[in-house]
């Protein structure tokens, strides 16, 4: 029996995508080969890559000067690749620290330039999204994490900035409409809204590149991958294929507007229960609540184990909170059906 | 109908592995979840990673001071990660240049230390493996590429060296017995003998690390991944899972001794036909012929298209030679059955 998968990532994917993804491992569209054993230079895989890139462009309505890459190494690798490619020695960058991942991103900058944490919500265990800050005049870019998987906060309105915004969208990419033209770089590990683990989406405004004199290893230079449409070396073909299927599914569902509406409805259902049920309470500041990762606790901590047991009995998985926050975390990404959220809400009501 | 897959990579995988790999996309061992949507911290995936590492250790009989990593970025990323982790500024490294991939590896060193090409077969379009060279006293390591996918050459006997040997084994890893204790680092992109594209096996002798004062980005420091058993960040879970299945298959087949015997038999069958058939001739020097990638040409080039057509009609795919060599290349990795090699040989006989 299929579980209700509330895992924070790798995370739930659409059932129709999983069915096609399994079929392609046996035989890719009647080619007589598994997609796992097909050359990345084959016409078949070239078409997969082209469609994946094209769907990203279409869903985000990307202007021509933005390039779409499918790389590897996770968002964690973008933490150093961004400053390595964009900052020259001594140049300044600004970061907003909203949790574990922002903190890790900040740590990687100093090899390449200077870094200033211009705002942080660390004072309250990252339970809110900072809104008051000044972006220094001399800074090269502003980096932020749009959604904080661990703490359950999400930025609702991106700031207006004179400098390019760099955004780690790993856990809310393609979950809502954004104005992509506001960003210098958008990056996202695939394993939440986009596909399985193993590839990282990177969208780069091309004119930002080539400004540093630094010698960048070939594989770490965004321009290497732009020049070859992410096929400079063998790409992670299967993860990219499953991303392509998921992007197709998003488009078929009605694109980002439809995703946004569905995600709001699911989150409202769950947050309403948290707010109205006297046993539970939310962790994140209400105005900054994530539509993707809903963090909550039982007021009486001693009942936690009992609630987790009920969840397990109801076939709910991945609901235990991260150790930095405790309690529970329901990750309700694009592919999570309303019916699974309802199962959880019913369980909370009954508890 | 299943093709005879002679692709150079991504390449043929065992049929039983593909069947299990497809099943796990639907449901992983009855967990009620696809492996694509399971947390990498789940007990299920942790067991996959542990078994993959353990099988590598067992098949290569690795001493305890060798660590096994499943990283990303392909062998191409090891071209810079090796000198970044092992060389200090001004330190010397020695490379043997046996083709396209060695050349690329050599190109990445100069950001980190000095590099000397102590031998090369470029003078004869990389059609042989250099055997005469002197390893400088002051060098930190010797780097070589054990098998040259494009040119069809393979080292038969690794040299005795005082310095650690670093070896790119992307296209012949696990195809024969080696004495792993001779090496400082072994690396291999998965997509030939090991699994699908998307992960890179790296085996490191741990005492070689931590000797440089260089600031290494967290994700590029081998020690980061050693400390967390390749789970510092989300690993490419599915590619690693398929590698694990393939490693299990190698063990079930009788391990590296059995692989070696089978690979020799397949290569002999094909090379014998090339040598005895007056229409064809081999590309690589006989004593350096690869057991994995068999490069050959038609003496009369004008018949190439006709032969390729016959191959296609016989359900043979991936046999066209690389543009740097021309003619044909039959990649006959571990998973290639003798029966498929026989189909090709019969076709050559009939041609």
- Quick: pLDDT tens for B266-290: 999 999 999 999 999 999 999 999 9
For B215, the closest chain A residue by CA position comes to A111
Catalytic residues of B: 101, 168, 192
pLDDT tens-digit series, residues B42-92 = 999 999 999 999 999 999 999 999 999 999 999 999 999 999 999 999 999
Question: What residues of chain B, 164 to 203, have a C-beta less than 8 Å from chain A?
Answer: 189, 191, 195-199
Question: Is some CB atom of chain B closer than 8 A to the CB atom of A13?
Answer: yes
pLDDT above 90: residue A1: no
A258 burial type by CB count under 10 A (0-12 exposed, 13-18 middle, 19+ buried): middle
* CA distances, A42 to each of A37, A38, B8, B48, B148 (Å): 11, 7, 11, 30, 21
Q: Which of B40, B198, B315 shows the shortest C-beta gap to A236?
A: B198
Q: Residue A275 — left, alpha, or beta (φ > 0 → left; ψ -120 to 50 → alpha)? A: alpha
Which residue in B48, B87, B103, B238 has the most chain A C-beta atoms within 10 A of its own C-beta, making it the best mutation to test that interface? B238
- Containing H/E element for B76? helix B74-86
Using the beta-carbon criterion (under 8 Å), do B32 and A238 form an inter-chain contact? no
Cα Rg for chain A, rounded, in angstroms? 21
Mean pLDDT of chain B: 97
Could B242 and A36 be called an inter-chain contact, meaning their C-beta atoms sit closer than 8 Å? Answer: yes
Specify the pLDDT at position A45. Answer: 97
Q: How far is the CA of A330 from the CAs of A17, A308, A349, B104, B213, in angstroms? A: 22, 12, 16, 46, 43
Contact B37/A197, CB-based, under 8 Å? no
- β-partners of residue B117 are B95
Q: Considering only CA atoms, which of A204, A249, A179, A280 is closest in space to residue A20?
A: A249
**Distance in angstroms (rounded) separating the CA atoms of residues B18 and A143:** 42
Question: Quick one: residue B133, left, alpha or beta (phi over 0 = left, psi -120 to 50 = alpha)?
Answer: beta
Q: For each of the domains in chain A, give its residue range(s) and CATH number, in order of start.
A: 15-252 (3.40.640.10), 255-350 (3.90.1150.10)
- Percent of chain A scored above 90 by pLDDT? 99
Q: Chain A contact for B106, CB < 8 A?
A: no
pLDDT of residue B240: 98
CB atoms B315 and A32 under 8 Å: yes
User: Are B36 and A21 in contact (CB < 8 Å)?
Assistant: yes
Chain A CB within 8 Å of residue B77 CB: yes
* B96: pLDDT strictly greater than 90: yes
Does the distance separating the beta carbons of A242 and B239 come in below 8 Å? Answer: no
CA–chain centroid gap for A151, Å, is 14
Residue by residue, DSSP assigns B18-29 as HHHHHHHHH-ST
Residue B1 scores a pLDDT above 80: no
The CB-side HSE value for B310 (13 A sphere, CA atoms) comes to 15
**Cis check: omega of the bond before B154, within 30 degrees of 0:** no
Tokens in use for A57?
Answer: 């462009």
Give the chain B residue whose CA is nearest to the CA of A315.
B32
CA distance B132 to chain A (A): 31
Chain A CA closest to residue B39: A10
Closest Cβ opposite residue B37 in set A7, A25, A233:
A7
Which pTM does this prediction carry? 0.98
Distance CA A153, CA A145 (A): 10
Rounded Cα gap, residues B255 and B248, in angstroms = 9
The pLDDT of residue A199 is above 80: yes
DSSP, res A322: P
Whether chain B has a CB inside 8 Å of the CB on A33: the answer is yes
CA nearest neighbour of B98 among B78, B74, B112, B118:
B118
Q: Does the beta-carbon distance from B5 to A37 stay under 8 Å?
A: yes
Q: Which residues of A are catalytic?
A: 101, 168, 192
B residues 209-228 closer than 8 Å to A (CB):
215, 217-220
Residue A106 in contact with residue A97, Cβ under 8 Å?
yes
Integer Cα distance of B17 and A21 in angstroms? 16
Q: State how far the Cα of A18 lies from the Cα of A12, in Å rounded to an integer.
A: 10
CB pairs under 8 A between A and B: 196
């Amino acid at each position: 029996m299929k579980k209700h998968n509330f895992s924070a990532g790798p995370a739930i994917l659409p059932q129709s995508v999983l069915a096609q993804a399994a079929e392609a491992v046996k035989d890719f569209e009647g080619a007589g080969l598994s997609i796992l054993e097909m050359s990345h230079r084959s016409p078949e895989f070239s078409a997969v890559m082209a469609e994946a890139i094209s769907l990203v462009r279409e869903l985000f309505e990307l202007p021509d000067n933005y390039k779409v890459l499918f790389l590897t190494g996770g968002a964690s690798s973008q933490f150093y690749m961004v400053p390595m490619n964009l900052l020259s020695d001594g140049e300044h960058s600004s970061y907003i620290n909203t949790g574990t991942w922002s903190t890790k991103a900040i740590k990687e900058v100093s090899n390449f330039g200077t870094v200033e944490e211009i705002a942080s919500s660390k004072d309250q265990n990252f339970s809110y999204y900072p809104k008051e800050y000044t972006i220094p005049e001399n800074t090269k870019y502003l980096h932020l994490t749009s959604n904080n998987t661990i703490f359950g906060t999400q930025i609702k309105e991106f700031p207006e900035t004179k400098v390019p915004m760099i955004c780690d969208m790993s856990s809310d990419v393609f979950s809502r409409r954004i104005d992509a033209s506001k960003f210098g770089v958008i990056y996202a590990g695939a394993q939440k809204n986009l596909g399985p683990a193993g590839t990282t989406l990177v969208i780069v405004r091309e004119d930002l590149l080539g400004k540093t004199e630094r010698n960048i290893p070939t594989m770490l230079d965004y321009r290497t991958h732009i020049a070859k449409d992410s096929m400079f070396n063998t790409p992670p073909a299967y993860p990219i294929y499953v991303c392509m299927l998921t992007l197709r599914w998003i488009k078929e569902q009605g694109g980002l507007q439809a995703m946004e509406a569905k995600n709001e409805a699911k989150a409202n259902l769950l947050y309403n229960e948290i707010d109205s049920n006297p046993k539970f309470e939310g962790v994140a500041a209400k105005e900054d609540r994530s539509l993707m990762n809903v963090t909550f606790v039982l007021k009486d901590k001693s009942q936690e184990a009992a609630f987790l047991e009920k969840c397990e009995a109801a076939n709910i998985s991945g609901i235990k909170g991260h150790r930095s926050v405790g309690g529970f975390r329901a990750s309700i990404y694009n592919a999570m059906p309303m019916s699974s959220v309802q199962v959880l809400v019913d369980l909370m009501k009954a508890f």
